[in-house]
Every structure is written in structure tokens, then in C-alpha cells.
Homo-oligomer: A and B are copies of this chain.
Amino acid sequence: MTAPTTTTIPADLAAWLDANDARLKAELSDFLRIPSVSARTEHAPDVRRAAEWVADKCRTIGMHLAEVIDTPGHPIVLAEYRANPLAPTVLVYGHYDVQPAEPLELWTSPAFEPTVRDGKLFARGAVDDKGQLFLHLAALEAHLATRGTLPVNVLVLAEGEEEVGSVNLSSFVEAHAQRLACDAVVISDSTMFAEGQPSILSSLRGLAYFEITVTGPASDLHSGMYGGAVVNPAMALARILATMHDAEGRIAIPGFHDRVRAWPDAVRAQMRALPFDEAHFRAEVGAPALGGEAGYTVLERLWTRPTCEVNGLLSGYTGEGAKTVLPSTAMAKVSCRLVPDQEPAEIERLMEAHVRAVAPPGVTVRVEHLHGGRPWRAEVQGPLFDAAARALGAAFGRAPVITGEGGSIPVVNDFERLLHVPVLLVGFGLPGENAHAPDEWISVRNLELGMRAMATLWDEYAAAAA
């Protein structure tokens, strides 16, 4: 990766961003106040409101054709700026929907009332992904406000279903492939390796998310009067879940690893060379010890290995005190993080077959596939990546490192497959940001530097492509 020693943030853009700092942050707070929780039906009007907010912002900064386009689910926002037919075209993707905020009582300040404490902006969506989408809009505004144009052609595509599997995005991209034709896709929905250390992501894990329901008796029973002769569905569920890993922490679902592609030794060596502070990571997580699959480092477990996690459990009586009930049903939300070349549809078949194979007589099981996304690995090279390295270096004063990430951005594969272009993943979150938990935050400094880096990127990319 090219060292970024000679690049600086263009003075006009830097001055404009400095001058407009307070207003931009106030606008982001307005955006964060909209509870655009895509998983909850009752928030559908809020999700649409967030879409309208993004489209309005695109229009206000001077983009063309900013539209809120209906889908069978939540809408997609698409805006364009055609600067120059000879310049390269980039598609900036982000999402304006957010995770549910529950459990609400664990938030220090309300989830949808943005609050700054200790240099962190707290709100649901602050980092995932409203804050990172917004910093791109601010970078574009800096160009348009100071120069009246952009150095590259830009498409902004923002969806409202990322947190529920982007179920309508790929068909949208496919249907609008001509309008979306571009030279590269840029996405900021990830974290930097460490504070002050800009990062370019080279891999993402995929996802296969299930709801497993075990049903025994037709209704809840008295555990004294029936217990011992009726199979307890909550105990059956526990026994089913316990078969999903072996004693070494390796996933034990038959066939699960068949398509896992080995990582090159050189990449593993580079990962092991990153200055990763395991004690700090453990302290940040707050668990008594770390864990996981035997034979891998923490970063390898996070970036290169598949997982099988319980995301939720519900059965029987969960209130105060003791209720002696033999529950009728037990539910687990279970999801697998996938690595190349695992396929969500195949994992779905393997999961269902495994659950049915290990379920005891006396209960029925249902495995519902809620959503999935393919894993991804990139070759990090070419003019856009070099430009990004210089822009990040200019803003952060340090060359970026190449990382992996354990999370999923299901659309990355779709963009590659449908638009036949490279995808640059450059994120400004930080470890510990609570992306899907109470007290989600983004570093205010990263927000500022992210705007400056992305504003600089368009100059650098235009120059490299010229």
C-alpha cells in the first residue's frame, strides 16, 4: 500500500468543514433522532421518515435526482451527481435503518436522543450506520459548497433493510444495474483496527440466521403433575444447542466446514503481526476470559473462522419468582457467521438437517431461516485503494492497515457480482462501539476525520484515474 506521506487534506475542503462543523453535527443528531428500526413493523413510518431525511439532505447539498424508491419492504434512497463523463463514477452505499434499541433500560442516555460524552456521540445508529453514511454526505457537501462540483461522478445509495438482511437490495441493484453502473463501490460501515489507526477491510463474514422452535405439549403443563413423563421442550432445545459445537469449540454440524477456504499462511502471519492487545480486548468485553475454537488467535477467530451463536432464548416463565411450569414451547434465535466459500442456503439445509437429526422424540422442531448473507474476501489493489490509502493517511497522519472483520455487510457480494466492480470498505467505527448493544457510539474525532478523509478521497481518486 502506497505510503501517504505527501498527501494533505485540500485547504478549501478543510476550511469549509471546520466552518460548518457545528451545523453538520446538529444535522446528524436530527437524523439519529428518527427511530428507524427496520425489524419492527410499528417503526415502518419512522424508517420511511429516515429515507426522506436522506433524500432531502442529498437534494439540499446539490445532488441530482434524489429519490425515495419503494420496495416490497422499506424504501431505497438513490441520488446522483454527474460531474464529468470522463471522470470515474463511484457508488457510495450506506444504510439508514438501525438495530432495535432494547433493552432500553441499559442505555445511559436515551437511544434516540443523541448525546456527546467524553468525545463520543451516543445514539442508536451513531456508528451503524447513520453516522458513517452522514459523513459521506458531509464530504460531498464540502466539495459542492466550495467548488460547485465534484471531482468524480457520485451515486449515493442508502437502504433501510440492512439490519434485516437487505432482502430487497440485490433485486433493486439488478433491476437498476444500468443506472448504477460505476467504477467502484465505497462503503463505510465498519471499524478501524484501533483508535488513530485507519483501516481498509479485506474480508467480511457472512451470516445465516435461524429461529429454532421446539414444541412439546400442546399447552404449558404443571411441572409436578407431568414432569418426568413428558419431554421438556426447553431441555430438548438446550440439548439440541449443545450438539452444535464439539469440546474444542469447533462447530460440529455435519458438513458445516466442507466449503471453508483455507487462509494463506502469509495472511495469517500478517494478522498475527498486528499489534492486538488481547488483555485490553478482554477487559473491553468484560468477560472473565476469552474463548473460542482451539488452534486460532483471537483475530483469526473473529475474521477467518465461522461461528454458531445463540442470539436469543425464550421459554416458559421468565418473570419474578418461581413458576413450576413445563413449557409448551422453547425458542432460540441462532446465527452462524460464515467465511468464504460457505453459502447461506447450504448452511440453512445443514442446520435444519442437523436439528432434525438430534431432536429427541416427544417434540417437534421448526427451523425458520430469517436471513442470510454471503461471506467476502477482496484483493486490495488498484487506483481507488491507493487513493484511499493516501486520503486516510492525510486525515489520520498514519497509513492504513489491512484488516478483516467478523461482521456481515451482505450487500458487498451483491455489488461485486451485479456491478462487476471492486468494493472499498473503509470504516470509522472503533472497537467497543456497542454497535448492536445499548450505548452505541461513534468517536466524534473519527466523524470529523472521516469527513475530511472522504472529501480528500475524491480528489485523490480523480487524480489517480486521470
Contact = CB atoms under 8 A, between A and B. Distances in A.
A351 interface: no
A106 B222 CA distance: 15
Interface string A105-131: 010000000000000000000000000
Given A218-B285, A220-B438, A245-B235, A102 B319 contact: yes
A456 interface: no
A298 B363 CA distance: 17
Contact of A288 (B103, B106, B361, B439): B361
Nearest to A242: B242
Interface in A255-271: none
Interface in A31-48: 39-41
Contacts of A463: none
A43 to B, nearest CB: 11
Interface stretch (A84-92, A176-184, A330-338, A441-449): A330-338
A391 to B, nearest CB: 24
Interface stretch (A16-24, A145-153, A224-232, A412-420): A224-232
Contacts of A307: 223, 227-228
A295 to B, nearest CB: 12
A95 interface: no
A323 B309 contact: no
A281 B245 CA distance: 36
A11 interface: no
A312 B232 CA distance: 11
Given A222-B435, A337-B228, A361-B288, A311 B330 contact: no
A241 B244 contact: no
Contacts of A56: none
Contacts of A306: 228
A33 to B, nearest CB: 21
A218 B324 CA distance: 30
Given A219-B437, A223-B307, A312-B327, A291 B322 contact: no
Contact of A324 (B40, B103, B209, B301): B209
A343 interface: no
B335 A287 contact: no
A310 B234 CA distance: 6
Contacts of A438: 219-220
Among A241, A331, A360, A439: residue with most chain B CB under 10 A: A241
Contacts of A406: 224-228
A324 B302 contact: no
A216 B408 CA distance: 23
Given A290-B230, A302-B226, A317 B312 contact: yes
Interface in A295-330: 298, 301-302, 305-327, 330
A164 B207 CA distance: 43
A434 B244 CA distance: 35
Given A241-B239, A370-B322, A191 B333 contact: no
Given A219-B438, A224-B405, A224-B407, A371 B322 contact: yes
A362 B324 contact: no
Given A223-B335, A235-B310, 11 more contacts: A39-B320, A39-B322, A102-B317, A219-B286, A220-B434, A222-B436, A229-B302, A230-B291, A241-B242, A291-B360, A309-B326
30 contacts: A103-B220, A164-B321, A209-B322, A223-B311, A225-B302, A225-B406, A225-B431, A225-B435, A226-B302, A226-B406, A227-B307, A229-B290, A230-B290, A230-B292, A231-B289, A231-B290, A234-B241, A235-B241, A235-B309, A238-B238, A287-B362, A288-B361, A310-B315, A311-B323, A312-B317, A312-B318, A314-B318, A318-B333, A323-B436, A325-B436
